[in-house]
């Protein structure tokens, strides 16, 4: 026993020896030594970002289902730099999110720990770990309104005594208790560390330089251990269980349940993971999304915007304007206001087709996310995805892929193993059409009738399953098990959903727009230099003989290499029979990923894998499209 | 004499108890929907650390909320719902608890 512990047996024991051993060698986030670094830490879906938004005044991505806020956000509040972190259940190196959170916590001065008061048992594990790390902590106890509704009683004063750090009750959605955040920052202090852990920390301190890192090494954190050149500790399990027991002890003392009644939201949550009711709920949800995106946005709104505003107002106006200075027949004229003009078609597609669709898609996704439905969906489809070597979590990148394949490819990071990342990324690049492409496809399929829809859907589905199954067979290793926490079902907050939607749509447009212009420019240049005809001639045997499409369809394949939806859009104006529509759409759907997607793929999966996938999509698209063509036409 | 006797009895009781618990343990994925079980064994690995963080470790009581076709499982521990894949659930041993 350390001698300085002898006089601290009564609670709460302030650690007078703190000053001797803190703050050695951390701080790549350092901007200014006078400013303190305050970091918001909490489990997923505890409302962290609402606090962050309030403090920083900036908007960032709100709730986070794993993967949506891997990037951290920084803001300023008074003399503090505020950092938001991805939601984690503990500090360690199990995932990218944890790595990010761990680094920021290690470099912070003050930790504001946001805790879901309804799920104290789960959340206090992280709180105690932060306390054990020797960080200055203040707890923001969120969802106090739900505590009331669920018939729970929390003794906040006692909780604060046990933890040794101040605790502030809040309701983030209504900003109740937000006036105490400043007090929380000021009053944050070191809490009540595990008595047995403390001496061990001191032994490790000589190596690690900070208590926080000492603890992580003891807990077997390989990254931190390696950083200090020591073997990782072997006591993780003991420390974790001991910490768990402390949580239980605290819970028993501070929490009491009054009348417990099951609420409707809880019931809906249960029903959506039930064998009998889950599937109807899934189809109901998908149907609503289809009604909203497929019918209302894609048909009514886009029709109006694209035809009335785009084709009839904007395009004649800009053509007239540019026509005053350059002849529409000159090569500059063709590039700017021609068939694939930068100022005509590109602008119309971007603003009047892509933008409303992307907004609608992100809106639907945000609702599913904020309501807590997404993880339940993952649970429901877990077993089906096992068949293609994935677990339920992969449903998130796969669904996101229907929004934007590029974004979805980045999200494959949340998956547990390299194998799952490979399978998911490959399926995304091959067989998942993104929202913009899907919009054009839907519009064309609606015109082509039910049979066309059925054949198209079935073909893509078969390719989807085939690719997954083949990869599952040939890749070494096995599927990692599903293990996720199901957050409570909550009514999504419209303002949050809107903010998140617009934020994401904005970033997507920012990312996509340049590539759109690059694509249009490339096609325009090919057109004026006559290379387009050369390309058409090269592809002609494939396009005309094998796929039995008009030779102009090969233009779509040029554009498809730049942006997938661009490729599909190129087919839109061709005069095609119903069967030709099916063949053309199948081919363009399976065709190569867009440039942005390819860039991300190279980054995430390496050049070799990316080029294999890229070439593979060429082969698959023409093979499947051709076979279909030979059968149908 | 009596020592030997009590020794023998205690040995029998111990054997019987051991048999009881042996028979009573089953993998988590075989647990009936709605039943309450105590965790007996969790295999080592990252899943174990993650489960401990979520409050599921040896000795803890959990209720099986849902069993999906194919074996994906939803368990509950004090208002906390956790979904487990079949391949993980099948490696976790539990013993049923008679309740109420």
The answer on pLDDT for A511 being more than 80 is: no
Tokens describing residue A458? 């079935």
Residue B67 lies in a domain: yes
Distance CA(B65)–CA(A429), nearest Å, equals 37
Q: Do A483 and B51 touch (CB under 8 A)?
A: yes
Gap between the Cα atoms of A39 and A80, Å rounded: 10
CB contact under 8 A, A121 and B81: no
CA within 13 Å, CB half, A297? 25
Contact state of B87 with A270 under an 8 Å Cβ cutoff? no
Cα torsion A405, A407, A410, A413 to 10°: value is: -90
How far does Cα A362 stand from its chain's mean position?
11
**Residue A524: band (very low, low, confident or very high) from pLDDT cuts 50, 70, 90:** confident
Please indicate whether, in this complex, the C-beta atoms of A378 and B83 are within 8 angstroms of each other: yes
Is the pLDDT at A510 greater than 50? The verdict is: yes
Contact list in B for residue A276 (CB cut-off 8 A) is none
- Across A112-116, A176-180, A486-490, A585-589, which has the greatest mean pLDDT? A112-116
Which distant-in-sequence residues (6+ apart) come within 8 Å of A178 by Cβ?
A: A51, A54, A170, A172
Is B77 within 8 Å of A483 when comparing Cβ atoms?
Answer: no
Q: What is the distance between the alpha carbons of residues A209 and A24, in angstroms, rounded to a whole number?
A: 5
* Cα→Cα distances B4→A371, B8, B10, B13, B65, Å: 66, 6, 10, 14, 48
Q: Is the pLDDT of residue A52 over 80?
A: yes
As given in the structure block, the two tokens for residue A454 are 């059925």
B14 inside domain: no
**Angle between helical axes of A236-254 and B46-53 (0-180°, round to 10):** 20
**List of residues 6+ apart from A408 with CB closer than 8 A:** A397, A398, A400, A401, A428, A432
Q: What is the pLDDT of residues A241-264, one digit of tens each?
A: 899 989 989 998 998 877 666 678
What residues contact A330, with CB distance under 8 A and at least 6 apart?
A: none
pLDDT of residue A259: 62
Domain-embedded: residue B12: no
pLDDT digits (tens, 9 = 90+) for A604-616: 788 899 999 999 9
Q: Report how far apart, in Å, the C-alpha atoms of A90 and of each of A148, A380, A495 are.
A: 27, 26, 30
Query: Can you say how many angstroms the Cα of residue B67 is from the centroid of all Cα atoms in its chain?
Result: 16
Decide if B90 is inside a domain: yes
Q: Any residues with CB less than 8 A from the CB of A106 and at least 6 apart, and which?
A: A26, A210, A212, A213
Domain with residue B79: its CATH number is: 2.30.30.90
Tell me: pLDDT of A166 over 90: yes
Helix (H) or strand (E) holding A405: helix A405-411
Q: How confident is the model at residue A593 (pLDDT cuts 50, 70, 90)?
A: confident
Give the separation between CA A458 and CA B67, rounded to whole angstroms: 29
pLDDT for residue A628: 93
Q: Where do the structural domains in chain A lie, given as residue ranges?
A: 35-192, 278-632
Choose between A17 and A530: higher pLDDT: A530
Which residues of chain B are at the A interface, by a Cβ-Cβ cutoff of 8 Å?
A: 46-55, 57, 65-72, 74, 77-89
From A247, which residue of chain B is nearest by alpha-carbon distance? B55
For A245, nearest residue in chain B (alpha carbons) = B55
Which of A337-351, A459-473, A478-492 shows the lowest mean pLDDT across its residues?
A337-351
DSSP E strand boundaries for A170-210: 189-190
- Relative to beta strand B73-77, strand A152-154 is unpaired
- pLDDT of A600: 77
Residues 6+ apart with CB under 8 A from A463: A430, A431, A590, A620, A624
Residues in chain B within 8 Å Cβ distance of A94: 46, 49-50
- With a pLDDT cut of 90, the percent of chain A lying above it is 33
CATH class of A35-192: alpha beta
Q: Say whether B52 and A375 touch across the interface (CB within 8 A).
A: no
The pLDDT, as a whole number, for residue A611 is 93
Task: Decide if B63 is inside a domain.
Answer: yes
Residue B49 and residue A380: Cβ atoms within 8 Å?
Answer: no
How far apart CA A435 and CA A437 sit, in angstroms, is 5
Q: What stretches in chain B show pLDDT beneath 50?
A: 100
Would you state the pLDDT for residue A62?
41
- The stretch A333-356 carries a mean pLDDT of 83
Closest CA to B89 of A382, A196, A628, A588: A382
Of all residues in chain A, what percent carry a pLDDT higher than 70?
A: 91
**Average pLDDT in chain A:** 83
Average pLDDT over residues A538-554: 87
Q: How many CB pairs under 8 A join A and B?
A: 116
Instruction: Looking at the complex, report in whole angstroms how far the Cα of residue B24 sits from the nearest Cα belonging to chain A.
Output: 24
The parent domain of residue B38 ranges over: 26-96
Select from A384, A486, A487 the residue whose CB has the most chain B CBs within 10 Å, as the one to mutate to test that interface.
A486
Tell me, what's the pLDDT at B9?
A: 82
pLDDT in tens, A440-450: 788 788 888 88
| Tens of pLDDT, residues A400-430 | 788 778 778 877 877 878 899 999 999 999 9
Local confidence band at A28 (pLDDT 50, 70, 90 cut-offs):
very low
The whole-number average pLDDT for the span A181-188 is 92
- Say if the Cβ atoms of A383 and B70 lie within 8 Å: yes
pLDDT value for B82: 94
Q: How many domains does chain B have?
A: 1
The residues of A whose Cβ lies within 8 A of any Cβ of B are 89-90, 92, 94, 118-119, 121-122, 125-126, 150, 236-237, 240-241, 244, 247, 269-270, 273-275, 278, 375-376, 378-380, 382-384, 386, 391-392, 478-479, 481-486
Q: Which residues of B touch A247 (CB under 8 A)?
A: 55
- Cβ pair B54, A122 in contact under 8 A: yes
Check CB contact under 8 Å for B77 and A244. no
CA distance A275 to chain B (A): 5
Please answer yes or no on whether B50 and A89 come within 8 Å at the CB atom: yes
Among residues A389, A354, A291, the alpha carbon closest in space to that of A564 is found at: A354
Q: Which of A123, A170, A168 is nearest to A144 (CA)?
A: A170
Helix axes A418-431, A450-474, angle to 10 degrees: 150
The C-alpha angle A305, A310, A313, rounded to 5 degrees, equals 110
Q: Do B68 and A486 touch (CB under 8 A)?
A: no
For residue A403, the model assigns a pLDDT of 74
Cα separation of A179 and B15, whole Å?
63
**How many CB atoms are closer than 10 A to CB A354?**
28
Query: Does residue B52 fall inside a structural domain?
Result: yes
Which residues on neighbouring strands pair with residue A136, listed in sequence order? A110, A190
ipTM value for the complex: 0.79
In sequence order, what are the residues at sequence separation of 6 or more whose Cβ sits closer than 8 angstroms to the Cβ of residue A215? A129, A132, A133, A134, A197, A201, A204
pLDDT tens digits for range A265-311: 888 998 999 888 999 999 999 889 888 877 788 778 888 888 888 88
CB-closest option in A89, A118, A270 to B66: A270
Give me the residue from A121, A384, A483 closest to B88, CB to CB. A483
- Using CA coordinates, name the residue in chain A closest to B70: A383
């Amino acid at each position: 026993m350390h001698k300085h512990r002898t006089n601290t047996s009564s609670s709460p024991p302030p650690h007078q020896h703190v000053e001797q051993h803190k703050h050695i060698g951390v701080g790549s986030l350092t901007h200014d030594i006078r400013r303190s670094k305050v970091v918001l830490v909490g489990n997923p879906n505890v409302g962290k970002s609402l606090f962050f938004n309030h403090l920083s005044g900036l908007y960032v991505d709100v709730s986070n289902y794993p993967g949506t806020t891997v990037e951290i956000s920084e803001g300023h509040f008074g003399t503090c730099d505020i950092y938001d972190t991805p939601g984690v259940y503990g500090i360690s190196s199990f995932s990218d999110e944890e790595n990010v959170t761990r680094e920021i916590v290690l470099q912070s001065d003050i930790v504001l720990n946001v805790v879901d008061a309804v799920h104290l048992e789960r959340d206090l594990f992280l709180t105690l770990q932060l306390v054990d790390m020797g960080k200055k902590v203040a707890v923001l106890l969120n969802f106090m309104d739900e505590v009331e509704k669920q018939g729970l009683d929390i003794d906040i004063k006692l909780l604060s005594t046990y933890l040794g750090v101040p605790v502030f009750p809040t309701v983030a959605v209504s900003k109740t208790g937000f006036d105490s955040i400043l007090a929380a920052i000021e009053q944050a202090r070191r809490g009540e560390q595990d008595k047995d852990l403390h001496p061990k920390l001191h032994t490790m301190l000589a190596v690690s330089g900070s208590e926080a890192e000492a603890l992580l090494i003891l807990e077997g954190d390989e990254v931190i251990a390696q950083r200090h050149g020591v073997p990782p500790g072997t006591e993780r399990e003991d420390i974790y269980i001991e910490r768990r027991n402390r949580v239980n002890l605290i819970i028993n003392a501070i929490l009491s349940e009054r009348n417990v009644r099951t609420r409707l939201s809880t019931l809906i949550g249960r029903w959506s993971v039930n064998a009998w009711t889950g599937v109807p709920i899934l189809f109901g949800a998908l149907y609503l999304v289809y009604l909203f995106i497929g019918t209302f946005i894609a048909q009514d709104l886009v029709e109006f915007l694209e035809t009335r505003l785009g084709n009839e107002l904007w395009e004649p106006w800009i053509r007239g304007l540019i026509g005053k200075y350059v002849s529409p027949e000159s090569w500059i004229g063709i590039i700017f206001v021609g068939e694939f003009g930068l100022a005509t078609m590109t602008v119309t597609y971007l603003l009047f087709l892509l933008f409303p669709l992307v907004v609608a898609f992100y809106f639907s996704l945000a609702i599913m996310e904020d309501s807590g439905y997404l993880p339940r969906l993952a649970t429901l489809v877990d077993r089906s995805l096992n068949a293609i070597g994935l677990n339920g979590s992969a449903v998130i990148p796969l669904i996101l892929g229907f929004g934007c394949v590029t974004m979805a490819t980045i999200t494959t990071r949340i998956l547990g193993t390299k194998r799952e990342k490979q399978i998911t990324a490959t399926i995304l690049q091959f067989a998942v059409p993104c929202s913009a492409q899907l919009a054009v496809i839907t519009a064309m399929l609606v015109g082509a009738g039910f049979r066309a829809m059925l054949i198209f859907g079935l073909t893509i589905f078969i390719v989807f399953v085939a690719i997954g199954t083949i990869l599952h067979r040939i890749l070494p290793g096995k599927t990692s098990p599903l293990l996720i926490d199901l957050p409570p079902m909550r009514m999504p907050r419209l303002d949050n959903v809107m903010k998140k939607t617009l934020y994401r749509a904005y970033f997507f447009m920012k990312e996509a727009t340049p590539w759109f212009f690059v694509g249009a420019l490339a096609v325009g240049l090919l057109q004026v230099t006559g290379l387009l005809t050369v390309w058409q001639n090269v592809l002609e045997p494939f396009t005309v003989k094998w796929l039995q499409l008009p030779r102009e369809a090969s233009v779509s394949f040029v554009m498809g290499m730049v942006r997938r939806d661009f490729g599909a859009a190129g087919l839109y104006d061709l005069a095609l029979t119903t069967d030709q529509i099916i063949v053309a759409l199948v081919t363009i759907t399976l065709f190569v990923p867009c440039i942005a997607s390819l860039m991300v793929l190279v980054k995430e999966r390496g050049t070799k894998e990316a080029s294999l996938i890229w070439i593979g999509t060429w082969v698959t698209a023409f093979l499947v499209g051709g076979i279909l063509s030979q059968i149908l036409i | 004499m009596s020592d030997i006797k009590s020794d023998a009895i205690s040995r029998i009781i111990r054997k019987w108890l051991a048999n009881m618990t042996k028979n009573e343990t089953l993998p988590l994925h075989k647990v009936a929907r709605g039943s309450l079980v105590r965790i007996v064994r969790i295999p080592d690995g990252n899943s174990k650390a993650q489960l401990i963080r979520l409050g599921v470790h040896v000795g803890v009581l959990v209720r099986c909320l849902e069993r999906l076709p194919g074996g994906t499982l939803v368990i509950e521990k004090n208002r906390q719902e956790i979904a487990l894949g079949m391949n993980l659930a099948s490696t976790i041993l539990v013993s049923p608890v008679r309740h109420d």
